Amino acid sequence: MAIFALILVACGGSPVVQSTSAPAPTPAPATAGLPPTAAPTEPPATAAPASAAPTTAPTTAAAPTAPATAPLSNTTSTGAAGAAAIPAMQIVQTENTKTIEMPGDYFSPIVAVVRAGDTVTWSNKDTDPHSVVSFPSAAVKFDIDIDAGKSGTFTFDKPGVYRYYCDLHAVYDSKMDDIKANEGTDIYPSPMRGVIVVLDKNGSLPAIASAAVDVPATTAAFIPWSLVVPAGTKVMWTNHDSTPHAVVSAYGYATSDISTFVLKNTDGTGASDFAEPGVYYYYCPVHAGWNAQKAQVQPFKSYSAFPIVMDGLIVVTPKQ
């Protein structure tokens, strides 16, 4: 059953570094309908629109743009008075992506989904060595060095959401609990990081009680970064920051019909109904753009936490 998508790794048994050549490349996540583009260009600094979805999507020569559809009539709510609703974001990709490639200083796909007991392989197609390192907050720690042309593996025995990064080309920021790209990397300022969603044997994960994501006044980030909810849940985003933000599903990890809603500053809210099980990857298009060539989110310099990316993940489990 195709359920989840997008992966960030961390958990399980002892890492094994292969001594054999890396396997043949596997296709990158689908980006049908999107023209190949260069890295997104940051738009001019302007105030967020008062009555429509933000227009700060990537604007390079052939950059992808949102479909020409009428703006949602309920995207103009201000403060806590109302919530701007959008269609549910679509399932990211099919389950069982067990091989993650490193064509350069990035992981492809950035999000993957497996079952408990599965072994994930990272294949280094680059000419530089890379690493696969769990976040310091991970329940299970791992640190795998992978030379150019080689591969490394890790078996995930415990269900959960595992984020990881390459500590040779990125650095962990303890204040943001996220990753910053090192200058000079292939796709700077996008950091070299990923996530693995490990489902249980039944294709599910324990849901958490809260269905809310906050943008704190002190930290311009989606908190929590990942949220697990059962199908049929309405997730609410609340912006406590003095700067407007927005939510949009990532190109290539949803349908081509990307819907956006605005989170106005000072307790602005937005909501989305998640009817179908799946893994949904999203980001703030006010402070980041989508690089379709690399299938990565790239932060804008206007973002206060630059070069960290303002993004997040929603895991929707089947109804029990």
276-311 tens-digit pLDDT: 888 889 999 999 998 988 989 999 999 999 999 999
Superfamily of domain 51-317: Cupredoxins -  blue copper proteins (2.60.40.420)
Ranking 130-134, 142-146, 243-247 by mean pLDDT, the lowest is 243-247
CB atoms within 10 A of CB 305: 17
**In the beta sheet, which residues pair with residue 196?**
162
∠ CA 181-25-22 to the nearest 5 degrees? 85
Confidence of residue 41 (pLDDT cuts 50, 70, 90): low
What pTM value is reported for the model?
0.73
Residue-range domain boundaries for the chain: 51-317
Confidence of residue 96 (pLDDT cuts 50, 70, 90): low
Confidence of residue 50 (pLDDT cuts 50, 70, 90): very low
- Provide mean pLDDT across the span 34-43: 49
The confidence score (pLDDT) of residue 135 equals 96
CB atoms within 10 A of CB 183: 8
